[in-house]
A and B are shown apart, each in its own frame.
Chain A
Amino acid sequence: MEIKILGTGCPNCKKLFDNVINAKDSIDSKIKVKKVEDMVEIIKSGVMSLPGLMIDDIVVSYGKILSVKEIEELINNKK
């Protein structure tokens, strides 16, 4: 599984990144986490409201900072 955080480095994107790290550590530390900071890449995924979140290249959230709990649920649903 690979989780991508889409964001251009704004404070909200960093916060989502931290939450993702916390969530995946509690489930499976082998899950890959990647930041996508290139604007063109972000737009290509169809996301405009930042930060966005993708799991295995599928957009699961945009425009909000998910809590650690919400991210855990998303990961568990995808497993």
Chain B
Amino acid sequence: MNIFYPLEIFAEFIVYSVLNLIEGSHLAESLVFIIADLLKIFILLFVMIFLVSYIRTYFKPEIIKRKFNKNNISYYFGASFLGVISPFCSCSSIPIFIGFIEGGVPLGITFAFLITSPLVNEAAIAVLLATVGIKATIYYVISGVLIGVIGGLIISKLKLEKYVEEYIYKIKSKDSVKLKETQKQKVDFAFEQVKSIVSKVWLYVIIGVSIGGFLHGYLPEEFISDYLGKGNIFAVPMAVLVGVPLYSNVLGTIPIIESLISKGLPIGTGLAFLMSVTALSFPEMVILKKVIKVRLIAIFVLIVTIGIIINGYILNLLL
């Protein structure tokens, strides 16, 4: 059952009854799509950001870093999971990265966090869930966590500790204080996060949904299947190579991917593109440069890029 059915009925009602547009026309089809999508996206953004922010209040990296002290596989999953719930922007993942290394967390586990942190985030989960659907969203989260875990394990095996800047190992931090928080403070924090993220992204979402809606109504069906369908073996790496340097707003990108998927773009290719847009960004590399040597950054970029491409192929085979 489609729980969003009432929203679609509502969108149709607005377009056909209130605006009085003719059923079946390109403009009307696009508008129904845009209105229904926007309603779904904003409802889910609210719910997901609230939930994840609330969960986050129970997992403070300051406290967790003392536990991730052994090269144990479960800590790779733990760090990758922390990456999923960690905040939205890359400016907050670098201090956690440094704090982990300084706190004695093994490099591989630290990278499991660093890889997943931008790769999977709650806002993207919300928009994917609202547009592409639950199956693709689950694959997105699970494969994102796995890319982080496997990437971290590879970096651990390669023994790259010497490519971390010396001064990081010399920092001696004070023990972090555990701060008491009341339930009310946790809930207030989660609301605050909803407000702050939605106020930052709403415009990109509207732009993305409008472009997606336009494509939905006007893009010919054959276009995608002819050029980017499963028949084209190079579609996944091409999508990733376009996506990596593209540092656009991911939330605006998802509705566009949605409409391409509805026109026949394989889901694996769509998710590969989505992940490549978010996973690696130029500003993040610039900050990382202060912390790790270029060689390790290059290995990191390579592992993530190849991971996303392989994942795209696997998902295309599975779905």
List A residues at the B interface (Cβ < 8 Å). 8, 10, 12, 39-40, 42-50, 58-65
Contact = CB atoms under 8 A, between A and B. Distances in A.
B132 to A, nearest CB: 30
Given A46-B62, A62-B179, 11 more contacts: A40-B98, A40-B171, A43-B99, A43-B171, A44-B174, A46-B173, A49-B60, A50-B92, A61-B179, A62-B60, A65-B192
Contact of A46 (B96, B167, B177): B177
A49 B98 contact: no
Interface in B82-107: 87, 89, 91-92, 94-96, 98-100, 102
A17 to B, nearest CB: 15
A30 to B, nearest CB: 26
23 contacts: A8-B94, A10-B89, A10-B91, A12-B196, A40-B98, A40-B167, A42-B95, A43-B99, A44-B172, A45-B173, A46-B174, A46-B175, A48-B98, A48-B99, A48-B176, A49-B60, A49-B61, A49-B62, A50-B92, A61-B179, A62-B62, A62-B179, A63-B60
A47 B62 contact: yes
A75 B96 CA distance: 27
A67 to B, nearest CB: 8
Closest A-B pairs by Cβ, 10 of them: A48-B99, A46-B176, A46-B174, A10-B91, A48-B96, A48-B61, A48-B95, A46-B173, A44-B173, A59-B177
A43 B60 contact: no
Nearest to A12: B196
A49 B189 CA distance: 14
Contacts of B98: 39-40, 43, 48
| Interface size of B as a range | 20 to 34
B72 to A, nearest CB: 21
B65 interface: yes
B293 interface: no
A8 to B, nearest CB: 6
B62 A48 contact: yes
Contacts of A42: 95
B176 A47 contact: yes
A18 B173 CA distance: 27
B92 A39 contact: no
A48 B175 CA distance: 11
Interface in B165-221: 167, 171-177, 179, 189, 192, 196
A72 to B, nearest CB: 15
